[in-house]
Amino acid sequence: MFALSTKPKARLLKRPFTCARWLIPLCLVILGACHRSPEVQFFGDQEYPQKLSAWGLMQLDNQLIRLPSEQQVYELNTPLFTDYALKLRTLYLPVDTSISYRATDAFDFPVGSIISKTFFYPVNSSGAIALQSSWNGNPHDIDLSVHRLIETRLLVRQPQGWDALSYIWRNGEAYLSIIGDLITLPVDDGSELNYLVPSRNQCAGCHAENHTHGTIHPIGLKARHLNRPHPIHARNQLLNWQQSGDLSGAPQPALIPRNARWGENNGDLNLRARAYLDINCGHCHNPRGAADTSGLMLDHQASDPAHLGVCKPPIASGRGSGGHLYDIVPGNPELSILAYRMSTTDPAAMMPELGRARVHREGLTLIEDWIASLSGVCL
Amino acid sequence: MHRPHLLSFTIALLMFGCGGESASSSSGADISPAMASSEAFVQQFREALESAEPGDIIDVPAGVHSFKRALTLNTDGVTIRGKGMDKSILSFKGQISGAEGLSVNASDFVIEDLAIEDTIGDALKVNEGENIIIRHIRTEWTNGPDVNNGAYGIYPVQTVNTLIEGSVAIAASDAGIYVGQSKNVIVRNNRAEYNVAGIEVENTIGADVYDNIATNNTGGILVFNMPQIPQRGHSTRVYNNQVSRNNTENFAAPGTAVSGVPKGSGILVNSNDNVEIFNNQLSDNDTANILISSYFSANYAGQKNLAKEFDPYPEYISIYGNTFQGGGEKPGADYLNQIRVALYGPTGAFPDIIWDGIVNPEAGTDGPFICVNNSEAKLLNLDAGNNFEGAQVNMAVHDCEVDKLPAIVLRGALANAS
């Protein structure tokens, strides 16, 4: 194994010419500007920097986000809902390495890989965030004069496995937070949002999809989530990576699984609902996950209706039952615990347990429509 | 093993007083020095949990320490130690994030001598882990019984080799002490009061529950099996406990398993096998001092959709050496009260043990083996499967023996504890 810890230093030596502070005016004249593309740095697990900028994953420049050329942007077919935050996802692979394809689990990433996810909202002139918004997926179109960056989460591939880190944005820089935070954000409807930045252990609460081992993995970087057009150039993301040599071992595109896109209203209702449950619930509600205690399985592989919750009584729901008897009553979303737990913001009753303080109305409607479409009778 | 550690972290915590955390946008003006020091502890405690290394001992000083969001620990081999269950208090009053107070996913975990109060959901949840010691912990909702209290107080689930002792659990809206889907467990010297279920052992293999006090709950001590979850439980001994006056109105959320427990239940076995109930002192539990029932009497939903592999019948139940006083005079379910009046008159009482009498139709002469050798104590078979038409006491069919269960022996680091 090559010595990762020496890598940042080696990179530092190779840094291009930079301007000493007293020389800045002169530099500005000579070079036109001191702009240089940020360069990605990798850090060992004992030397994580306090500032996100040290990683070189992105640079804020004149109200825009500048990404280094070796950073790749990607999107998921159906993403996790996080209080209507918009998310910029990037992947950095070390030079001359590639991802190994897996059909079901997260891809196998080379040591030195860095996955980032930046959470942001549009803001109005008084700094209030908008919850209902969209974005074309192009980082160059995030105008920071009308957007607020909240946090950037990193998954860093060390020799011994993945580490999860959260950086919280404050005044143009993001700072490492091991313990997480609750950030009160004003919302443009006059309300407030208690936005949760997860602690390091809470990251594992979702990313340790195998709760017995407790090791963390990427959730979104799986074939079925990534198999879709790229948000900017529209070519298939996986095909693109295959052709660029970033992804090895993938079968031909027709053989790669693909989850539905939850918001495509003309798409198959069952597939859209299952894709939504897979990404929002399946990391815990799978046969090896933290929520296997419940016997409710909502990952993409679940097939037994009882395991999916059809006519299944709750086990340890507490008031999460909402007074209902079954997780899913076919045809009756209003009697189904699954829909109830998505419709509440009571932390003891809501699902998912972490990562939202608001109801995802559109996601709830999808699941309600899906339950309404199911047939059967609970005896 | 869980993942490696970012930082080594040692804390020397000497702060006393009250304080806590708030959402980060609020200002810290006008706080007293004592409050500021405890606010510093709250931050340090969180950091200690988040960056813990095996072998860490994290001290919790005396004082009320307030938290707005859940605490989590994922590192094996950590001890959390307070100054006493009435001195070191982790208060979650006003909690706004997280489904638990302290959520643990780790082995070789010890927590002792502190209280966890007023969590919005469960107080202490340990989800998967081996060698767990929960000692001298108090979990309490200080407002008393309320459907809006958190479900579970002390809640190890899918653990192996677990000891819960000397703890106090008050006013959980489901179970004060709940051991779920675990193996090799001892629950002793605890007090459970004003919960819906005082102590509940569910889908657990091998548990000894002894020297506890369960009083003023809806049901005192429950030994349950639920369908459609990964582990089927069996083999629990319930002995030397004081189980009295568990007559608190059922305040569980409708739809939950315990919402069907009639108030006034002393020791209640449901759908579980190989349960030994002996040398307990049971008194004044208004439905009955001991209840044995199948899944079909639990008032659950989904009874017709049982998976084939689930055994809904309680079998190999052994009851002996218990002392009984009072009880059975005011059953907490209308249908039970009607049977009581029909059989024993308006002022009469159920005998000390009632059983729904629903047996596996395929068991033949093997019988359920509900064996009672408890001097004068009587068992009433309610014949619930036949509209109670054949309800009767017939002690001859309960004059049987089942093999005694071995004592639970804790292993490894917990061997000395037992």
Structure tokens at B251: 């305040």
Structure tokens at A66: 């500048």
Q: Report pLDDT for B418.
A: 59
Q: Are A312 and A327 in contact (CB under 8 A)?
A: yes
The conformational region for residue B70 under phi > 0 = left, psi -120 to 50 = alpha, else beta, is beta
Shortest CA gap B393–chain A (Å)? 32
Listed by number, the residues of chain B in 264-293 with a beta carbon closer than 8 Å to a beta carbon of chain A are none
Of A293, A307, A319, the CB nearest to B173: A319
Q: Which residues of A fall within a CB distance of 8 Å from B121?
A: 318, 347-348
Q: Which residues of A fall within a CB distance of 8 Å from B47?
A: 178-179
pLDDT tens-digit series, residues A191-203 = 999 999 999 999 9
| Beta strand pairing call for A64-66 and A59-61 | antiparallel
CA-nearest residue to A311 within chain B is B302
Q: Report pLDDT for B9.
A: 35
Shortest CA gap B125–chain A (Å)? 12
Interhelix angle A200-207/B33-50, rounded to 10 degrees, is 40
Listed by number, the residues of chain B in 207-266 with a beta carbon closer than 8 Å to a beta carbon of chain A are 226, 228-230, 253-257
Scan for tokens 């639990």, then name that residue: B298
Interhelix angle A269-281/A361-373, rounded to 10 degrees, is 130
Is there a contact between B97 and A318 if contact means CB atoms under 8 Å apart?
no
pLDDT tens-digit series, residues A277-294 = 999 999 999 999 999 999
| pLDDT surpasses 70 at A147 | yes
Q: Which residues of B fall within a CB distance of 8 Å from A357?
A: 96-97
* Rounded Cα gap, residues B67 and B43, in angstroms: 10
| pLDDT surpasses 70 at A1 | no
* Rounded Cα gap, residues A100 and A106, in angstroms: 9
Q: Which residues of A fall within a CB distance of 8 Å from B226?
A: 313, 315
Shortest CA gap A121–chain B (Å)? 17
Q: Which of B45, B66, B72, B231 to mutate to test the interface with A (most CBs of A within 10 A)?
A: B72
Element (H, E) at A373: helix A361-373
Pairs of CB atoms within 8 A across A/B: 188
* Rounded Cα gap, residues A140 and A137, in angstroms: 9
DSSP three-state, residue A262: coil
Q: Which residues of A fall within a CB distance of 8 Å from B151?
A: 316-320, 348
pLDDT tens-digit series, residues A121-134 = 999 999 999 998 99
Q: Report pLDDT for B22.
A: 59
- The DSSP bridge partners found for residue A121 are A148
CA-nearest residue to B74 within chain A is A201
Q: Which residues of A fall within a CB distance of 8 Å from B178?
A: 316
Is there a contact between A212 and B73 if contact means CB atoms under 8 Å apart?
no
> DSSP letter at A328?
B
- The DSSP bridge partners found for residue A135 are none
Is there a contact between B253 and A290 if contact means CB atoms under 8 Å apart?
no
* Rounded Cα gap, residues A311 and A292, in angstroms: 17
Q: Which residues of B fall within a CB distance of 8 Å from A337?
A: 255
Listed by number, the residues of chain B in 93-122 with a beta carbon closer than 8 Å to a beta carbon of chain A are 95-99, 103, 105, 120-122
> DSSP letter at A24?
H
DSSP A97-108: --EEP-SSSPPB
* Rounded Cα gap, residues B359 and A12, in angstroms: 76
Of A211, A292, A311, the CB nearest to B302: A311
| Average pLDDT of every residue of chain A | 90
Quickly state the pLDDT bin for A234 (edges 50, 70, 90): very high
The parts of chain B modelled with pLDDT lower than 50 are 1-18, 25-33
CA-nearest residue to A335 within chain B is B255
Q: Given CB atoms, is B51 within the 8 Å cutoff of chain A?
A: yes
Listed by number, the residues of chain B in 344-403 with a beta carbon closer than 8 Å to a beta carbon of chain A are none
Is there a contact between B152 and A318 if contact means CB atoms under 8 Å apart?
yes
Of A184, A347, A357, the CB nearest to B25: A184
Give residues with Cβ within 8 angstroms of B10, minimum separation 6. B56
What SS3 string covers chain B?
A: CCCCCCCCCCCCCCCCCEEECCCCCCCCCCCCHHHHHHHHHHHHHHHHHHCCCCCCEEECCCEEEECCEEEEECCCCCEEECCCCCCEEEECCCCCEEEEEEEECCCCEEEEEEEEECCCCEEEEEEEEEEEEEEEEEEECCCCCCCCCCCEEEEEEEEEEEEEECCEEECCCCEEEEEECCEEEEEECCEEECCCEEEEEECCEEEEEECCEEECCCEEEEEECCCCCCCCCEEEEEECCEEECCCCCCCCCCCCHHHHCCECEEEEEECCEEEEEECCEEECCCCEEEEEECHHHCCCCCHHHCCCCCCCCCEEEEEECCEEECCCCCCECHHHHHHHHHHHCCCCCCCCEEECCCCCCCCHHHCCCEEEECCCCCEEECCHHHCCCCCEECHHHHCCCCCCCCCCCCCHHHCCCC
Element (H, E) at A371: helix A361-373
Q: Report pLDDT for B412.
A: 84
Provide mean pLDDT across the span A132-154: 95
Shortest CA gap B124–chain A (Å)? 13
CA pseudo-torsion sign A80, A74, A120, B45: positive
CA-nearest residue to A351 within chain B is B99
Is there a contact between B300 and A313 if contact means CB atoms under 8 Å apart?
yes
Q: Is the peptide bond preceding residue A352 cis, with omega within 30 degrees of 0? A: yes
* Rounded Cα gap, residues B43 and B69, in angstroms: 12
* Rounded Cα gap, residues A358 and A221, in angstroms: 25
* Rounded Cα gap, residues B217 and B263, in angstroms: 8
CA-nearest residue to A196 within chain B is B97
Q: Which residues of A fall within a CB distance of 8 Å from B254?
A: 321, 323-324
Structure tokens at B228: 């459609």
Amino acid letter, A110: P
* Rounded Cα gap, residues B108 and B54, in angstroms: 9
| pLDDT surpasses 70 at A160 | yes
* Rounded Cα gap, residues A17 and A109, in angstroms: 32
Q: Report pLDDT for A54.
A: 97
